[in-house]
A and B are shown apart, each in its own frame.
Chain A
Amino acid sequence: MSEHTIKLTVNGREMEGRAEARTTLVDFLRDALDLTGTHVGCEHGVCGACSVVMDGVPVRSCLIYAVQAEGAQITTVEGLEGADGALSPLQDAFWENHAMQCGYCTPGMLIATHALLQENPDPDDEAIREAIGGNLCRCTGYQQIVEAVKMAAAKMRGA
């Protein structure tokens, strides 16, 4: 299996690593770049645990090969904090609302709703449920996640 050097920008930092052509982006992020915040759930594109933002769009990193991410701009959960380590309003609202239990789907949920709030600063329940419709959570029943996103949106709007 041929190996490739992949250069890309992750969370604002230029990075590079080696991967086989068949290596998925999630395995590359976790194994080559040591960014273990992004999780592997189903490896067939249903659960959304591996969601990252790639060139502005939330994607399932288990369905993308690392080599396809050459030159891409990636945001993972590790990139949501401020440079000073301060929590983003979205992260803070997830904490305030206990929008998780085991935390395993949480990075994917944060990424999906982070991308939503970039597009739509004032989403209603339906829009939030739509945005996380491809992210499975087995702990929460989704409700506290919806509440967290609404709280974060309000805070970000200064409401």
Chain B
Amino acid sequence: MDGDFKYVGQKRRVKEDRRFITGRGRYAADLRLPGMLHVAMVPSPYACAEIKGVDASAALAMPGVRYVLTGDELFEHINPLLSGLDLPHVKRVPLAHCRARYAGEWVCAVVAETRAIAEDAAELVEIDYDMLDHVIDPEEAIKPEAPLVHPEHGSNVLFDKTWTWGAVDEDFAAAAHSIEYRARWSRCSTIPIETFAVTASWDPGREVLDVWASIQMPKYPEQIARGLRMPVNAVNVHFDIDVGGSYGLKRGIRQTIIVGYLSRVLRAPVRFIEDRLENLSGGEMHGPDRIFDIEMAYDDDATIRSIRIHATDDAGCYPGRAPLQLGKPVSAIVGPYRIGSAQYRAMSVTTNKTSQEAVRGFGQAPTNFAIETGIDKIARTLGLDRDEVRRRNMVRADEFPWRIPSGSEYDSGDYHTVLDKVMKAAGWDDLLARRDALRAEGKLAGLGLSTCLEPSGGNSSFEPLFNPKNDTTTWMEACLIKVDMLGGVTATINTSTSGQGHETLVSVAVGETLGIDPDKIRAIHAESLDALPSNSPVGSRMAIMLGGAAAGAAKKIKQKMIDIAAHNFQLPSDRLVYEDGDVFVDGEPDRKMTWFEIVDIAHRKYHDMPLGSEPGLQANFTWEVPTGGALPAEDGTVQMYPCYAFEAHIPLVTIDRDTGQVEIHDYFIGHDCGTVINPDIVRGMTLGGIAHGIGAALYEKFEYDRETGQLLAGSFMDYLLPSSHEVPSVEIVKHSTPSPLTEFGQKGSGESGYLGAPAGVASAVNDALEPLGLHLDTLPMRVRDIERLINGRET
């Protein structure tokens, strides 16, 4: 199917890149407005404390200081922020109100003429605290004696529900074997190099709040308006701001409410750019923090009959969308496997840590890691090769569409072929021989394998699943295309972009549909006041949803042009053929109207238009997620995401016996995300996702001190990001099984690599540890964790 396209899948320079290589990107921090004021936050030094009073007099006395905003004042004038769950007594607020609930939580916002003055003044704000007991460990938090993070809620459990899909108990009883294990995914995040930045400017003349932000968030303008008690049509988000990386994370609604409120009070533009400490400690952008207790029931031939997953997730202190990250994995709760029944207990717990936010994969990467850990264990127990166990359980190519116990239907795939291809390209047997040769030299060497899914085309089915009061069943995306009077084509993107190359995507989708060179098409980011509905680039959805919306709008343009030509030829429209912008009579290529002739008629010659038609040449199209639109059934079954991409990872690692350091020598990935629209973009996302996954597997952790509740990873000296030394060169083995549900057969790839790399690296490390009779099922597998394990010391 890839071969049938003129522009889709072709090598093409990415439109956005030109401004980035010349230093002309326009990021939120690059904006300069006259009279702009700057914010610095005053953080809580305590993990839990009552705020008894604030004395800002010394700060306010400093020259250049304009305002000190307290949580009390803000609370009076705003609505609490949106929660993913139905928790009326847990109020998420931008500044701590009455009580600070984690170390680093922002208590006051200081506004000054420069950021430096604001920081100086922040140190002078005196806050009277009464220290309270805190709880950091989620398993401690659910004990009856634990201090309550939100006393009004009455418990530290935010959500606890068990779904049983199929005959789980019967399948366990009938299976020859079962295993039980715990897998731990520690709190880490996708931390972009750009922190969150936002400027808000209230214009009393227009009565509009303009917002420029490094944002990646569904319904951002609506959430600002709701928070600030304004109409949505008084908020104008400038989506043309370049976002310096997000990977799900940049949901700075608290930050935006603070500057939005301040801008209205001070009648001046107000800007807040997190410094790195504010970002890591108080920015509320940590990722999943999850304990999996899993049981799998399987037979002698390794057929896995059933799975029970109990996931306990530490949401941190305010449950925004964090608990929903337990919901998305319902979409692929049995991985790529034909597991006949499943039980899933999802438990979200609150603790005195910074809040969790959406991270690449929305909970799927931890779940994939947890499932894959069990697959390897079954192989080891049965003495079978790891690929063989997977082969025996993976859904077969002729079985699609395949419905899994939790109700989602996998659209298409050819998992066995992808696995075969990557093992062949990697030279699996040669890698095993190399591993064994390294072992013979006395080294700890391991070969890893993981096979995982990337659910894509994100919609919101987990929202009603986790909160029955929320009956949202659409997660649409839209595009407006205008053909101007001289024949130029401009298409809109109705959200911001954080590196995904949406301008390139839209240009190719429109170019393909209209038969026009994508380089001649302009794609622009709308402002929210003139934007069509969007749900932002989350859930690996934009190739599918924005690509589909753009193609849908382009088809309408095409039809209008055919109708105009048909009218002028005095023929029915179905006698006309559109090709590369021109329209001719079927079978009579000489009877033709050119692109420019038709455009000219549409814009100027109403007398040549079909009677009653709309002048000009523009069209918009809003697309509902394919397979979307339904509420979950009574038993919780629901079609979650429409498309399922597949990936198989093969890393070869060694471990230094003395230091515990893991080195990745070779890395192969087989990847099938259907039709690829831009090969460089998809490749880059996959390679970058693997780098993120290596970080989650080996380095990245937001460590907290249990005694004091302090975050111990407040800089890049403590929170380690993989550099060019840690990330190896990766070979991608491509395969394409088009999706039957999308315009060009594309699936998502925005989370590729990340969804299987942690599992793959963990598999390799455990393979290396096996000769020692050791295993490690906790991520990250840091140098010191491995060293202590090898040397028999407690980790």
Which residue of A is nearest B497, CB measured?
A102
In the complex, B81 has a CB within 8 A of chain A: no
In the complex, A13 has a CB within 8 A of chain B: no
A101 touches B685 (CB 8 A): yes
Which residue of A is nearest B276, CB measured?
A42
For window 670-701 of B, CB contacts with A under 8 Å fall at: 680-681, 683-685, 687-692
In the complex, A9 has a CB within 8 A of chain B: no
A102 touches B245 (CB 8 A): yes
- Separation in Å of the B681 CB from the closest CB of chain A? 7
In the complex, B55 has a CB within 8 A of chain A: no
Known A20-B116, A42-B276, A134-B723: A103·B684 in contact at CB below 8 Å: no
Q: Mark B166-200, 1 if CB is under 8 A from A, else 0.
A: 00000000000000000000000011111000000
In the complex, A123 has a CB within 8 A of chain B: no
CB contacts (< 8 Å) of B684 on chain A: these are: 98, 101, 139-141, 144
B499 touches A137 (CB 8 A): no
Size category of the A interface is 35 or more
Which residue of B is nearest A148, CB measured?
B21
Q: Mark A83-121, 1 if CB is under 8 A from B, else 0.
A: 000010001001111101111111100100000000000
A136 touches B193 (CB 8 A): yes
Which residue of B is nearest A106, CB measured?
B20
Bound: A78/B689 CA distance, A = 29
Q: Mark A121-132, 1 if CB is under 8 A from B, else 0.
A: 000010011101
In the complex, B607 has a CB within 8 A of chain A: no
Bound: A9/B18 CA distance, A = 26
Bound: A8/B4 CA distance, A = 57
Bound: A106/B25 CA distance, A = 10
In the complex, B13 has a CB within 8 A of chain A: yes
Pick from A30, A39, A81, A128: contact of B22, CB under 8 Å? A81
CB contacts (< 8 Å) of B21 on chain A: these are: 77, 87, 91, 94-95, 100, 103, 106, 110
- Separation in Å of the A81 CB from the closest CB of chain B? 6
B723 touches A105 (CB 8 A): no
Bound: A95/B716 CA distance, A = 28
- Separation in Å of the B357 CB from the closest CB of chain A? 15
CB contacts (< 8 Å) of A30 on chain B: these are: 29-30
B22 touches A91 (CB 8 A): yes
CB contacts (< 8 Å) of B190 on chain A: these are: 138
- B17, B30, B501 interface centre (most CB from chain A within 10 Å): B17
For window 718-762 of B, CB contacts with A under 8 Å fall at: 721, 723-725, 727, 729-730, 753
B194 touches A104 (CB 8 A): yes
- Separation in Å of the B702 CB from the closest CB of chain A? 16
Known A22-B116, A141-B727, A144-B683: A102·B691 in contact at CB below 8 Å: no
In the complex, B600 has a CB within 8 A of chain A: no
In the complex, B500 has a CB within 8 A of chain A: yes
Does more than half of chain A's interface fall in helix, strand or loop, or is it mixed? loop
- Separation in Å of the B253 CB from the closest CB of chain A? 20
In the complex, A69 has a CB within 8 A of chain B: no
B192 touches A102 (CB 8 A): yes
- Separation in Å of the A141 CB from the closest CB of chain B? 4
A138 touches B245 (CB 8 A): yes
- A42, A77, A125, A133 interface centre (most CB from chain B within 10 Å): A42
Bound: A139/B501 CA distance, A = 12
B715 touches A42 (CB 8 A): yes
A143 touches B687 (CB 8 A): yes
In the complex, A40 has a CB within 8 A of chain B: yes
A40 touches B29 (CB 8 A): yes
In the complex, A71 has a CB within 8 A of chain B: no
CB contacts (< 8 Å) of A22 on chain B: these are: 116
Q: Mark A59-90, 1 if CB is under 8 A from B, else 0.
A: 00000000000000000111011000001000
Which residue of A is nearest B685, CB measured?
A101
In the complex, B772 has a CB within 8 A of chain A: no
B23 touches A38 (CB 8 A): yes
CB contacts (< 8 Å) of B23 on chain A: these are: 35-38, 76-78, 80, 107
Pick from A35, A102, A132, A134: contact of B244, CB under 8 Å? A102
A136 touches B25 (CB 8 A): no
Known A95-B18, A106-B20, A125-B729: A136·B687 in contact at CB below 8 Å: no
- Separation in Å of the B248 CB from the closest CB of chain A? 12
CB contacts (< 8 Å) of B724 on chain A: these are: 128-130, 132-133, 135, 142, 145-146
- Separation in Å of the A35 CB from the closest CB of chain B? 8
Known A46-B715, A138-B193: A146·B729 in contact at CB below 8 Å: yes
Known A42-B276, A133-B723, A144-B687: A138·B247 in contact at CB below 8 Å: yes
Which residue of A is nearest B720, CB measured?
A46
In the complex, A44 has a CB within 8 A of chain B: yes
B191 touches A142 (CB 8 A): no
B727 touches A37 (CB 8 A): no
- Separation in Å of the A132 CB from the closest CB of chain B? 5
- Separation in Å of the B30 CB from the closest CB of chain A? 4
Bound: A134/B726 CA distance, A = 12
A44 touches B717 (CB 8 A): yes
In the complex, B16 has a CB within 8 A of chain A: yes
Pick from A35, A81, A96, A143: contact of B13, CB under 8 Å? A96
A104 touches B680 (CB 8 A): no
Bound: A152/B466 CA distance, A = 52
Pick from B13, B116, B245, B680: contact of A139, CB under 8 Å? B245
B730 touches A39 (CB 8 A): no
In the complex, A49 has a CB within 8 A of chain B: yes
For window 9-53 of A, CB contacts with B under 8 Å fall at: 20, 22-23, 30, 34-44, 46-47, 49
In the complex, B275 has a CB within 8 A of chain A: yes
Q: Mark B477-510, 1 if CB is under 8 A from A, else 0.
A: 0000000000000000000001111000000000
CB contacts (< 8 Å) of A106 on chain B: these are: 20-21, 25
In the complex, B243 has a CB within 8 A of chain A: yes
CB contacts (< 8 Å) of B683 on chain A: these are: 98, 144
CB contacts (< 8 Å) of A36 on chain B: these are: 23, 27, 29-30
For window 228-282 of B, CB contacts with A under 8 Å fall at: 242-247, 273, 275-276
Known A42-B716, A47-B716, A133-B725: A104·B25 in contact at CB below 8 Å: yes
A-B contact pairs, 29 of them (CB 8 A): A36-B27, A37-B23, A41-B193, A41-B194, A41-B276, A43-B276, A46-B715, A47-B193, A95-B17, A95-B18, A97-B680, A98-B13, A98-B681, A100-B17, A101-B685, A102-B193, A104-B192, A104-B244, A106-B25, A134-B723, A135-B723, A136-B721, A138-B190, A138-B192, A138-B691, A141-B688, A141-B753, A142-B727, A144-B684
* Pairs A-B, 6 closest by C-beta atoms: A37-B23, A103-B20, A104-B244, A102-B499, A101-B499, A141-B691
- Beyond the given pairs A77-B22, A136-B193, A141-B753, 6 more chain A to chain B contacts, judged by CB atoms under 8 angstroms and listed by A's residue number, are A47-B721, A94-B21, A100-B21, A104-B25, A130-B724, A135-B724
